[in-house]
A and B are shown apart, each in its own frame.
Chain A
Amino acid sequence: MFKQNQGVTSSPKSRLLGFATLLGLVTLFVFAFFLTDPDVRLHPTTGEEIGQFDAVRLLYLHVPMAIIGPYLAPLVGAVASVGYLIKRTPWWDVTANAAIEVGTIFCGLVLVQGSIWGRPVWNTWWEWGDVRIMTTLILFLMLLGYLALRRIVADEHKQARRSAIVALVAAINLPIINRSVEWWESRTLHQKSTLSELKIEDLTFFTLMMGIVVFLMLFTWLVLHRFRLGWLEKESLEQEALTAIAERRAEATTNEEETS
């Protein structure tokens, strides 16, 4: 899988992916903050300029992060959790943990960055009652709960099983987050989907797509490394346990020899 004996989490391919991601992020920032136009249009009646102006640039980061944090990462975590509950092998558990740990960071960033965008555009840092913000916040809290649960020392399999169940419970929220703007239109400031209605074009569309691809690469790179780290941790613990058993056996043998 990778060079475990070196105790490192990188491989030539992952380094290549990391480099490509870094290059993609720089390119994305150039497009998002310099090459694309601000969101400005003329009001058909008043002729005044309206729109989100430069604040729209934050959406090139916000939308990709929102696809990964509150959707893709918990989904990968849930699928891997199902895999664990069926197969009961650590590979699935370590995968679920890696995806959810990275996803939690993205989910937190989505909430913070959305808040920064909301101040100039919505006129508020935070909107209690906005169903999409609230459902995303609940997911974030559940993901934190998942991570906290994994910190509780318990039997390895018991811990993995409990974590898998929490991941599946959290996943129930995913379609609710996605459909919230349709189901409770009168309870959200969030707009309906721009991409599904194709109300975006040209360089704006290209930059957004590039953002999604680059952030998917970043997510893959982070999950890959977190998985490898988790696997090394697991092997290290197993090695410690084996060493301890061997020491106890050696001790017992020595005692037997002394008494006889």
Chain B
Amino acid sequence: MTDDLAPSPTRPERAKRRRGPIAVIVLLLIAVAAVLFVTLGDATLVFYEVNEVVEQREELVEKRFRVVGTPLPGIVETSVDGESAVIFTFCAAGTYADVAHIGDPAELFQPGVPVVLQGEWVSGSLLEFQTLPNAARDGWYLLTDHMVVKHDNDYRTDQDRETDIESCGLKE
């Protein structure tokens, strides 16, 4: 076997590429995929209306879901199982549901301001529901632990504003 002393042909020079930007692009693609997966894959992120969760109660039992509605006057601050809570009734499209929200409510949480709650249906009742002026008292209540406020798009003065926050009315 003889050593090949002839100079080996040089490889064609490839365009130099920086690995950093390529790694960044790969990470960004993974991030986009993750965002899409989280956004589209989690059914609990859809907001139901109060009337929908009442109608679909049997299917939603033992499931976590989000529900949007308008709290009615008569919010009670109390504690449930040693944790601070607010007890209230909220409504949408004329349907009412009683709520026990565990934890501090949102800063702007007030009657008439729509909120999105996340939690589950619980069979039974709490003593505090007896004091609520508009309680549903149907043997079920929503036990929630996540509250966000859904505000409207109206920035006009009082006299020009629509009062759609009261569209579900008060229970007679």
Contacts and interface: CB of A to CB of B under 8 A. Distances in A.
Interface of A: 39, 41-46, 48, 50, 52-53, 56, 120-124, 127-129, 131, 134, 137-138, 141-142, 144-145, 148-149, 151-155, 186-187, 189, 191-194, 197, 199-202, 204
B154 A48 contact: no
Contact of B22 (A142, A152, A191): A152
A-B CB proximity, top 5 nearest: A129-B45, A123-B106, A191-B153, A151-B21, A148-B24
Nearest to B49: A186
Contacts of A197: 153
A58 B133 CA distance: 37
A187 B22 CA distance: 34
Interface in B76-103: none
Given A137-B35, A138-B36, A145-B25, A121 B108 contact: yes
Contacts of A50: 108, 110, 112-113
Interface of B: 15-18, 20-22, 24-25, 28-29, 31-32, 35-36, 38-39, 42, 45-49, 68, 73, 105-113, 116, 147-158, 160-161, 163, 165-166, 170
Contacts of A149: 21, 25
Contacts of A123: 105-109, 147-149
A144 B26 CA distance: 11
Given A41-B157, A127-B148, A151-B20, 17 more contacts: A43-B111, A45-B166, A46-B112, A48-B111, A124-B148, A128-B45, A142-B28, A142-B32, A152-B18, A152-B21, A152-B22, A186-B46, A186-B47, A186-B68, A191-B153, A200-B155, A201-B160
B70 to A, nearest CB: 11
A164 B7 CA distance: 43
